[in-house]
Structure 1
């Protein structure tokens, strides 16, 4: 029998995840405020980017884990995980816009167009915005289930773009170990989700025939 938490246990799990997800941000703020960082801008830029990818991977992992373990309640955590991916992506972009360009949109746009790794990162961030905006139950009802699902399939584009952004950024330092690891994880998770979608279609076709 699959494990099914009580409503109280689920609420507690959400609260714990919420606090844990904010710890990296709190650490960045504390280390910056206390002056313990030699290169605070690099540390914050790298940290917010890394945690964006972490939460993208965790969010993508919800469906495979839910199906494997038959823990359907995990779906109730996916929204929070996705919003934390957007939260850290917003911090990552804000760091770029604020500290690199001091909110000069014209200069920022030139940088976006000039450097490919920034271009793909910017595209990934822009594509995340409609997913975050439509994450509420109200937006699901307004859009309708099918249109909402199609919109949120943008994650299949966003995640590879995030990996490409990370790869190009690390290429200048000849450090490919982490991009390869992230890429392998994202590829495995996306292939798993594609397999489940194919298997569902196959089963529906079998029932229809």
Structure 2
């Protein structure tokens, strides 16, 4: 990327552009809802769509550091927190659609469903971990925890991504449809492999 392009990434309009792009799927779902375009099972459509965008957000957020390091674009780091919060927004909407539209806000039925279907409690665990990350994503939390502890805490995003893919796989296993699951799993595996390769101590050449 040319120097002027990297400078553009540091501008306020670039931040707002990323925010607007991140909210476009939500606006699209809202438009489909108003236009009665969610199909025969609106609850399933909304749950599926918000879950898909949560997974995409996780993959995009995890890809920022490899792209930033490998291509020399440190300016991308300023979008990491924004992408994380957008991902959390879609995760909350995913959970809300399940609780409100699929289960009718019946807490007893929800508890039974969570215990009966493992893929739901796996997804719930992912959401709880993501909630911790969202709650500590602000500057005050960074100062309170300290840089090292904050970074260690936020590495839990990899566990969140693994749980999210497992949640998706387990849900799709009933229909024996694993094509999309495989795509997300491969993307996540590549990102994890890059992180492990960076963390692995490099052997110094013999003197």
Q: How many residues align?
A: 202
**Unaligned runs of at least 5 residues, structure 1:** none
Equivalent in the alignment of 1:176: 178
Counterpart of 1:64 (choices 50, 63, 66) is 66
Distance in 2, Cα, partners of 1:41 & 1:119: 19
Distance in 2, Cα, partners of 1:49 & 1:21: 14
Residues 56 and 159 in structure 1, CA contact (< 8 A), matched pair in contact too: yes
Residues 49 and 88 in structure 1, CA contact (< 8 A), matched pair in contact too: yes
Report the CA distance between 1:106 and its aligned residue.
2.6
Residues 2 and 69 in structure 1, CA contact (< 8 A), matched pair in contact too: no
Equivalent in the alignment of 1:112: 114
After superposition, give the CA deviation of every residue in 1:80-131 in whole Å (9 maximum; x if it has no partner): 0111110000000001111122222232122111101111111101110010
**Unaligned runs of at least 5 residues, structure 2:** none
| TM-score between both structures, scaled by the size of structure 1 | 0.91
Report the CA distance between 1:9 and its aligned residue.
4.9
After superposition, give the CA deviation of every residue in 1:55-74 in whole Å (9 maximum; x if it has no partner): 00000000100111111111
After superposition, give the CA deviation of every residue in 1:146-202 in whole Å (9 maximum; x if it has no partner): 11111111111110100001011111111110001100000100110121122xx54
Residues 113 and 119 in structure 1, CA contact (< 8 A), matched pair in contact too: yes
| TM-score between both structures, scaled by the size of structure 2 | 0.91
Equivalent in the alignment of 1:12: 13
- Cα distance change of structure 1 residues 46 and 8 upon mapping to structure 2, 3 Å threshold: closer
| Correspondences of 1:1-80 after superposition (within 5 Å) | 3=3, 5-6=6-7, 9-38=10-39, 39-80=41-82
Q: Which range moves more in the overlay, 47-56 or 13-22?
A: 13-22
Distance in 1, Cα, partners of 2:104 & 2:145: 37
Distance in 1, Cα, partners of 2:88 & 2:9: 27
Distance in 2, Cα, partners of 1:178 & 1:28: 20
1:144 aligned onto 2:142: no
After superposition, give the CA deviation of every residue in 1:22-59 in whole Å (9 maximum; x if it has no partner): 11111111111111222211111111000000000000
